[in-house]
Amino acid sequence: MAVSADPVADTRAHLAKTGWTYTFLADPKTDVIRRYDLLHPVEGTAGIARPAELLIDPTGTVRWRDLTDDYRVRARPEAVLEAFDRSLGSRL
């Protein structure tokens, strides 16, 4: 599930273009982005989200997260899956 500061219409257009099917949420006022302290201020706008990934378990608890220090570099899918496997293992 992905969150950005893009408005609903932009997000819909982007999904139509890419064919991505997982849930994308629109936070144009950046209320939630601010609540998570992930705001990257952009002058003259409400700002955007800095890239971040959080893995949340069924109790709503964060079990893994990645706040990159370079916005070009994001967590790879393998890293997320590995974190998920580790989190599951630690619960057994």
Partner 1 sequence: MARARNFLPLAGFLVCLFGFLSYFFVFFRFPLTRDVPWVSWLLFAAGLTLLGAGVLRAFRRPDVYRGRVTGPILGVLGLAVVGFFLFLTTVESRRLPVSAGAPKVGEKAPEFVLPDAQGRPVRLSELVAPAGSGGSWVLLIFYRGYW
User: How many CB atoms within 10 Å of residue 46?
Assistant: 15
Under rule CB under 8 A, how many of the chain's residues touch partner 1? 56
Do strands 2-4 and 24-26 pair parallel, antiparallel, or not at all (unpaired)? parallel
Would you tell me how many other CB atoms lie within 10 Å of the CB of residue 34? Answer: 14
Which CB, 65 or 92, lies closer to partner 1? 65
User: Which residue reads 């893994």 in tokens?
Assistant: 64
68 closest CA partner among 60, 76, 57: 76
- Which parts of 30-89 interact with partner 1 (CB under 8 A)? 31-33, 35-41, 48-65, 67-74, 76, 80, 84
Q: Which is nearer to partner 1, 61 or 92 (CB)?
A: 61
Minimum CB separation from partner 1 for residue 40, in Å?
6
Question: Where on the chain is the footprint of partner 1 (CB under 8 A)?
Answer: 1-6, 8, 10-12, 14-15, 23-27, 31-33, 35-41, 48-65, 67-74, 76, 80, 84
